[in-house]
Chains A and B, each alone.
Chain A
Amino acid sequence: MEGIPYLELRDKLAQRDRSLREKVMSLEQAAALVQDGDQVGIGGSTLSRTPMAMIWQMIRSGKKHLDVSRSIVSSEGDLLFASGICDRIQTSWFSQGIVWGVSKVMRHYVENKLTRYEEWSHLAMGMRFRAGAMGVPFLPMRPMLGSDVLKQRPEAKAIKCPFTGEDLLLVPALNPDVAIIHVQRCDAYGNAQMDGLTFMDIDLAMAANRVILTTERIVSNDQIRRTPDQTKIPFIAVDAVVEVPYGCAPHECTNVYEPLFSHMDFYTAKVNADPVAGMQDYLERYVRAPKSWTDYLGLLGLDELLDASRRGRSMLND
């Protein structure tokens, strides 16, 4: 049988220190919580709330054989494949963004069978994280039936509903070893508040065995307690908190900054023109060479960061 036995699944959470304790650390320290070969669930979607700083750090820390899942994958998927830290990505869509066409980096790695991109429907990814969060081994759904997407995914099982006799598809739970999620704010204990779209992040956090939060800013526990209805991930499910301003750049963080479009244009032109050498040059210049995340932000440029911030914060204008 495939899948994780229920008691084993619970046991992994029981080993966690669930007390109300401070867990603030550096990117380097948080990366040490990710083991080679881990299944890593990534929060956000496409260009939004991508935990880019944590991905950047995992590359710098030389992780190996990561098995990644995300609702929709953008340019961070290029970085994961081209850096050699990731063997497989399970997602519903993979390219830098529809305005930039098909990722030549994704194409290079997948078409040459250097890495695997396993495709599920978007709802299937959602139901898989949700099943993981619910502590059940699968959930039923209707899409994917009849399609060739299903033919490639024997892990999903078509059944006749025991109640109605209708066709249903059972998709297996995803319980990542580690989830990495970027939020607008959280406290030192890991009570996380998110603005705007939450994508699959709440299910992802509850499904995972370990959760690393990166955050635009750390706020006090008192501030969290004033608006507990805004807390989307509770501290009991969090293992690490890292304060990383502009931690999604060049992607966006709702109400704080939009995507750094000029950098994304530069990036996609560079790597799609030469998905091997161009991509490696980008990784060297923007991921491996910078002394720190701040140094990396400096490379992106103050003009771009200010422009992205102006656009991002304009969400709060009337």
Chain B
Amino acid sequence: MTNANLTPNGGDFTTSEILAVMASRLLREGQVVFAGVGVPLLAATLAQGLRCPGLTILFEGGVLGPIINPGQLPPSTNEQRCTKRANMVMSSTEVLLLLQRGHVDVGFMGGAQIDKYGNLNSSYIGDPANPKTRLPGTGGGNDISSLTNMIVAMKHERRRFVDKVDFVTSPGFLDGGTTRRDRGLPAGGMFRVVTDLGIFGFDEVTKHMKIVALHQGVTLEQVQDNTGFKLMYDDKIATTVAPNERELAALRALDPDRLYIA
């Protein structure tokens, strides 16, 4: 499915494809990135293949520095496919402790619901005591977001971009300002949110979500309409460069069965 209405000048790519390409561009050569399953795994693998051969990927199952074979994406970050040609495998506890010790530059995951301070909810829709929907939960999400600089890739919808999440599964900047640090999380925090509409960061002082750049053809009005709170932005808003053929071809070769780029 293409979101032609969301990316009028962007050509033919799906939401997941633009997320993966834009997110992959945020990764840098030499970084150590802890990647969740789905778009983060795709984006990290894409970056490793195209621009950052020295990118080290960590998976929650206990994997350090694997090379994912195109067409053989794992169904989660805990299966044998994640370990192919890795530098090391260890226990899940050990790999999560690498985060706590500070061996990891970037955490990278998907999100179901996010709020203006970058808090993520993957536990409950509605009142947690009496939920409309019980979601799968944190997994390593809480650990990763508590301990690293985070990149989150998610679909941009009003119901997903809310003023306050129903439940803080994975902490962003909590209630903004210094509250993250004040409540016991001195390290890390939200760095970027990548969506099918643009790229977002957080204000240095208030820690409120702010537009960094919008994708080609996306208007300020459109992104604000799809967001459940007032976004901050500078006078001049940058525009991202659309995914190119090389990126899209590499991405599609990685996931020919469209496990994650459907």
Taking the nearest CB of chain A, how far is it from the CB of B69, in angstroms?
Answer: 10
A196 contacts B100, C-beta separation under 8 Å: no
Interface residue A97 (Cβ < 8 Å from any Cβ of B): yes
A142 contacts B100, C-beta separation under 8 Å: yes
Interface residue A39 (Cβ < 8 Å from any Cβ of B): no
Q: Which residues of B111-143 are within 8 A (CB) of A?
A: 123, 128, 131, 133-143
A198 contacts B136, C-beta separation under 8 Å: no
In the complex, chain A residues whose CB is within 8 Å of the CB of B183: 145-146, 167
Q: Give Cα A129–Cα B80 distance, bound, in whole angstroms.
A: 23
Interface residue B89 (Cβ < 8 Å from any Cβ of A): yes
Q: Give Cα A111–Cα B81 distance, bound, in whole angstroms.
A: 33
The contact string, 1 if C-beta is below 8 Å from chain B, for chain A 109-152, is 01100000101111110110110000000000111111111001
In the complex, chain A residues whose CB is within 8 Å of the CB of B96: 122-123, 126
The stretch from B5-13, B163-171, B195-203, B237-245 touching chain A is B163-171
A146 contacts B185, C-beta separation under 8 Å: yes
Q: Give Cα A177–Cα B136 distance, bound, in whole angstroms.
A: 26
Q: Which residues of A230-248 are within 8 A (CB) of B?
A: none
Partner of B84, one of A98, A142, A198, A315: A315
In the complex, chain A residues whose CB is within 8 Å of the CB of B215: none
The contact string, 1 if C-beta is below 8 Å from chain A, for chain B 147-191, is 100000000000000000001111100100001100111110000
In the complex, chain B residues whose CB is within 8 Å of the CB of A166: 184, 186
Closest to B110 in A: A98
A199 contacts B92, C-beta separation under 8 Å: yes
B75 contacts A98, C-beta separation under 8 Å: yes
The stretch from B18-26, B46-54, B60-68, B223-231 touching chain A is B60-68
Interface residue B97 (Cβ < 8 Å from any Cβ of A): yes
The contact string, 1 if C-beta is below 8 Å from chain B, for chain A 68-100, is 000110000000000000000001111101110
Taking the nearest CB of chain A, how far is it from the CB of B183, in angstroms?
Answer: 4
**Chain B interface size range:** 35 or more
Partner of B184, one of A106, A127, A152, A158: A158
In the complex, chain B residues whose CB is within 8 Å of the CB of A110: 134
Interface residue A200 (Cβ < 8 Å from any Cβ of B): yes
Interface residue A45 (Cβ < 8 Å from any Cβ of B): yes
Taking the nearest CB of chain B, how far is it from the CB of A143, in angstroms?
Answer: 4
B93 contacts A127, C-beta separation under 8 Å: yes
- Chain A interface, number of residues (Cβ within 8 angstroms): 62
A199 contacts B79, C-beta separation under 8 Å: no
Taking the nearest CB of chain B, how far is it from the CB of A42, in angstroms?
Answer: 13
B174 contacts A146, C-beta separation under 8 Å: yes
Q: Give Cα A162–Cα B76 distance, bound, in whole angstroms.
A: 39
The contact string, 1 if C-beta is below 8 Å from chain B, for chain A 224-263, is 0000000000000000000000000000101100110100
Question: With A143-B146, A149-B169 given, is the CB distance from A92 to B79 under 8 Å?
Answer: no
B184 contacts A111, C-beta separation under 8 Å: no
Interface residue B37 (Cβ < 8 Å from any Cβ of A): yes
Interface centre among B38, B79, B179, B183 (most CB of A within 10 A): B79
Interface residue A187 (Cβ < 8 Å from any Cβ of B): no
B93 contacts A130, C-beta separation under 8 Å: yes
A198 contacts B81, C-beta separation under 8 Å: no
A98 contacts B62, C-beta separation under 8 Å: no
Taking the nearest CB of chain A, how far is it from the CB of B94, in angstroms?
Answer: 8
In the complex, chain B residues whose CB is within 8 Å of the CB of A72: 76, 78, 139
Q: Give Cα A127–Cα B142 distance, bound, in whole angstroms.
A: 14
Interface residue A197 (Cβ < 8 Å from any Cβ of B): yes
A93 contacts B134, C-beta separation under 8 Å: no
Closest to B175 in A: A146
Interface residue B91 (Cβ < 8 Å from any Cβ of A): yes
Question: With A45-B92, A92-B137, A122-B92 given, is the CB distance from A197 to B83 under 8 Å?
Answer: yes
Q: Give Cα A121–Cα B147 distance, bound, in whole angstroms.
A: 12
In the complex, chain A residues whose CB is within 8 Å of the CB of B138: 92-93, 119-122, 149
Q: Give Cα A200–Cα B100 distance, bound, in whole angstroms.
A: 17
Partner of A147, one of B60, B75, B171: B171
Which residues of A are in contact with B by a Cβ distance under 8 Å?
A: 45-48, 71-72, 91-95, 97-99, 102-103, 106-107, 110-111, 117, 119-124, 126-127, 129-130, 141-149, 152, 158, 166-169, 196-203, 252, 254-255, 258-259, 261, 312, 315
Chosen A-B contacts, 16 in total, with CB atoms closer than 8 Å, are A94-B137, A119-B137, A121-B143, A121-B146, A122-B140, A141-B100, A142-B146, A145-B146, A148-B168, A149-B138, A149-B142, A149-B168, A196-B83, A197-B62, A197-B92, A198-B62
What 11 new A-B contacts, CB under 8 Å, besides A142-B184, A148-B123, A201-B91?
A: A47-B79, A99-B260, A106-B136, A117-B134, A119-B138, A126-B92, A127-B93, A142-B187, A199-B61, A200-B92, A255-B80
